């Protein structure tokens, strides 16, 4: 076993790393997953301007991809439906209805002009061996656009996942231009199927968005769905509406789907429900509104890194500058090489160096003659004269020499000088050159990608706020509570999302969902809808000694259906008073004892601090309490207490012996306490 564990650890680590880097998470450099990169590279190699069968593309990609044809075909269809880099022909499925694509042998695809312009440059692409070593595949394409922001991505790896939402082409390019101009920018998602988008919690790609279907009120009783939320199809939306109807969330007269090229789902309300109310219920209980959490995880430096939209755009824009600079350097090198060769050709033909070759007896001698002649202009050439240059001069055909035009050759050299000067100028201000490139690509392709999702701030519709209220009955005598309890004297109006607090005489309590019918016990003294802001007041006997405690609390933390206690469980413990809110005054009556000076007192519950629900509370009095009742008028209660106090006969002070005897009598009377009276509880609410 000690040898097996390190082996398993190492193998699992390698597997996890492979899944994260080479399958599920896109690379920040080109924004592509490996399978997407292999598909695009294969399509570039196959490209001849014509459509190719998807089955043929899949087969050629399998030379680079070790996971079979199913994943390749699925990835190609997903990319094609994003409409940026793959032009499709045939049935590639329907993102609105969720219909699948036809088999790969029936559909065709080719690269779009945008893909050819923005993704490929073989001279700037670094290659590595394929999985079997027979072919070469690109490590990362020299993408000139932040593909991860345009495409979006979803992937699940070992212990991590990524979810990047797609963004609008024009807005992404404008944000890149703003970054290069040192201006602020903000980017928000844009979905192909449109819908309404609330970006209040997007947080630069680290939060979430709420997306709603665009629904029109076409009649007093008819709603028509025109656009869908991201990730929702007509089938899944209709199913969610039907489920809500089956669960009794709302009622519909009919659901009709007329979707063709555009979404059109017609919902008819029943009699008695207006369209505005139905609209809120649809957003609350169906997929007409969805919340999408974002997790922007990308591979950066061979490691998964959590990034924001701004960071991804900045890094891709900096890489774009580097790619354009390298392309300029390549173009400059090619232009200077061309000028170098054309200048030598002009001298070779213009000075008739070729005539000297007639006297040469060997090829080596011919090379030497030409080299000596060309060395006269080496000072004006951008590169040293090399053997390859001489050999190229010797391969010039007589036909070309006979038709050589000195003036046309000079014009070509002048044009090359202008090109070289322009390239040098662009290299000196690469930022301005990058901005011009982005403006050009936006003008060329931007009109094809208008914003489709409308950004709009909308209020959150909570299901519990719009849910239908139903009558909940409480049969005190039989101890049942629920929607199906019809008998009894107490009723409430609750929704399916409300919770109820049940408190019993012995101090036990529960928080439960609104039941169909549930036995809560015949000793329940309080049933109400849960409100964490409600302050409860309770006065209770701790035990047989009738020592009384009072406390104020809120019901805030709980586990549903679990039974708790308001006070420590002791024999004889019982609630004397239970109420809610402020301004409660109590008249506390004490157990009669010899020589008692005061038989009752006023207790103000508002003087107590609000404590935790498990707290013991404050002792009401050191005397034993007989009963408690509510007093409505504080001034009247204080006056009555003062009158009672004055009415008590004066008692002469006791001698020490008499005092000890009185204390023994008091203790004896407490032990022989009368049978407990039922507590005085607040009046029961009316129906």
Q: Which residues are catalytic?
A: 106
**Adjacent-strand bridge partners of 209:** 292
Helix axes 169-180, 309-350, angle to 10 degrees: 80
- Measured in whole angstroms, the distance separating CA 103 from the mean position of its chain's CA atoms is 33
| d(C-alpha 16, C-alpha 9), whole Å | 10
* Residue 385 · residue 371 · CB < 8 Å: yes
Helix residue ranges per DSSP H, 351-405 = 363-374, 387-394, 398-402
Residues present in the chain in total: 687
Closest CA to 205 of 96, 80, 75, 305: 305
* Residue 156 · residue 145 · CB < 8 Å: no
SS3 label, residue 413: helix
- The enclosing H or E element of 539 equals strand 536-541
Q: Residues near 583 by Cβ (< 8 Å), separated by ≥ 6? A: 606
| d(C-alpha 515, C-alpha 110), whole Å | 60
Label residues 477-509 b or e (16+ Cβ within 10 Å = b).
eebbbbeebeebebebebbbebbbbbbbbbbbb
**Which token pair is 308?**
């924001």
**Which token pair is 322?**
């580097």
Distances from the Cα of 470 to the Cαs of 276, 423, 491, 495, in angstroms? 21, 77, 10, 6
Q: Residues near 29 by Cβ (< 8 Å), separated by ≥ 6? A: 140, 143, 319
Q: Give the number of other CB atoms < 10 A from CB of residue 474.
A: 24
| d(C-alpha 602, C-alpha 586), whole Å | 6
Q: Residues near 147 by Cβ (< 8 Å), separated by ≥ 6? A: 26, 30, 31, 32
Q: Residues near 550 by Cβ (< 8 Å), separated by ≥ 6? A: 537, 538, 539, 540, 603, 605, 608, 617, 618, 620
**Which token pair is 598?**
């005061």
**Adjacent-strand bridge partners of 481:** 474, 518
Q: Residues near 684 by Cβ (< 8 Å), separated by ≥ 6? A: 476, 489, 490
**Which token pair is 537?**
């007041």
Per-residue HEC secondary structure of 35-92 comes to HHHHHHHHHHHHCCCCCEEHHHHHHHHCCCCCCCHHHHHHHHHHHHHHCCCEEEECCC
SS3 label, residue 322: helix
Give counts: helices (H), strands (E), the chain.
18, 33
Q: Residues near 534 by Cβ (< 8 Å), separated by ≥ 6? A: 528, 554, 555, 580, 581
């Amino acid at each position: 076993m000690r040898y097996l564990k390190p082996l398993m650890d190492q193998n699992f680590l390698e597997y996890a790393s492979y899944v994260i880097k080479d399958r599920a998470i896109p690379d920040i450099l080109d924004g592509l997953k490996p399978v997407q990169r292999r598909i695009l590279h294969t399509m570039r190699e196959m490209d001849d301007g014509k459509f190719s069968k998807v089955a043929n593309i899949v087969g050629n990609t399998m030379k680079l991809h070790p996971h079979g044809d199913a994943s390749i075909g699925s990835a190609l269809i997903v990319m094609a439906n994003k409409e940026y880099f793959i032009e499709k022909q045939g049935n590639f499925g329907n993102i609105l209805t969720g219909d699948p694509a036809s088999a790969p042998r029936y559909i065709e695809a080719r690269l779009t002009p945008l893909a050819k312009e923005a993704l490929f440059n073989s001279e700037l692409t670094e290659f590595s061996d394929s999985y079997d070593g027979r072919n070469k595949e690109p490590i990362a394409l020299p993408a000139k656009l932040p593909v991860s922001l345009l495409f979006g991505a979803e992937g699940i790896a070992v212990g991590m996942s990524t979810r990047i939402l797609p963004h609008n082409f024009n807005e992404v390019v404008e944000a890149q231009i703003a970054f290069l101009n040192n201006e602020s920018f903000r980017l928000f998602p844009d979905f192909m199927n449109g819908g309404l988008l609330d970006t209040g919690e997007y947080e630069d790609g680290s939060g979430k968005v709420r997306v709603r279907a665009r629904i029109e009120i076409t009649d007093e009783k008819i709603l028509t769905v025109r656009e869908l939320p991201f990730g929702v199809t007509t089938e899944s939306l209709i199913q969610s509406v039907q489920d809500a109807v089956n669960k009794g969330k709302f009622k519909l007269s009919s659901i009709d789907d007329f979707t063709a090229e555009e979404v059109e789902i017609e919902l008819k309300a029943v009699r008695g429900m207006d369209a505005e109310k139905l609209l809120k219920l649809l957003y609350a209980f169906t997929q007409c509104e969805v919340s999408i959490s974002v997790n922007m995880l990308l591979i950066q430096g061979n490691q998964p890194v959590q990034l924001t939209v701004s960071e991804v755009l900045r890094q891709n824009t900096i890489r774009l500058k580097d790619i354009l600079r390298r392309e300029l350097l390549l173009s400059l090198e090619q232009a200077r090489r061309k000028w170098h060769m054309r200048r030598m050709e002009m001298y070779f033909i213009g000075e008739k160096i070729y005539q000297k070759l007639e006297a040469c007896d060997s090829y080596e001698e011919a090379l030497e003659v030409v080299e000596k002649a060309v060395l006269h202009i080496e000072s004006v050439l951008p590169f040293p004269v090399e053997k390859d240059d001489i050999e190229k001069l010797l391969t010039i055909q007589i036909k070309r020499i006979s038709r050589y035009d000195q003036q046309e050759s000079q014009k070509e050299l002048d044009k090359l000088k202008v090109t070289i000067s322009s390239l040098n100028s662009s290299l000196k201000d690469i930022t301005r050159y990058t901005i011009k490139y982005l403006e050009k690509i936006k003008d060329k392709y931007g009109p094809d990608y208008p914003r489709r999702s409308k950004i709009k701030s909308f209020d959150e519709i909570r299901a519990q706020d719009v849910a239908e209220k139903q009558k909940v009955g409480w049969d005190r005598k039989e101890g049942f509570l629920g929607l199906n309890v019809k008998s009894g004297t107490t009723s409430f109006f609750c929704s399916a999302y409300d919770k109820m607090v049940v408190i019993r005489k012995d101090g036990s309590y529960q928080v439960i969902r609104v039941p169909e019918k549930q036995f809560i016990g015949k000793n329940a003294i309080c049933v109400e809808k849960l409100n964490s802001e409600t302050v409860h007041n309770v006065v209770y006997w701790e035990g047989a000694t009738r020592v009384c405690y009072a406390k104020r609390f809120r019901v805030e933390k709980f586990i549903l259906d679990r039974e708790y206690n308001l006070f420590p469980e002791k024999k004889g413990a019982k609630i004397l008073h239970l109420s809610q809110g402020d301004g409660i005054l109590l008249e506390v009556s004490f157990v009669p004892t010899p020589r008692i000076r005061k038989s009752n007192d006023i207790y103000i519950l508002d003087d107590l601090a609000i404590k935790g629900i498990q707290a013991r509370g404050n002792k009401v009095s050191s005397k034993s309490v007989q009963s408690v009742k509510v007093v409505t008028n504080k001034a009247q209660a204080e006056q009555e207490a003062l009158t009672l106090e004055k009415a008590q006969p004066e008692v002469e002070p006791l001698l020490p012996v008499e005092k000890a005897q009185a204390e023994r009598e008091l203790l004896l009377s407490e032990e022989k306490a009368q049978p407990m009276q039922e507590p005085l509880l607040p009046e029961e609410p009316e129906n």
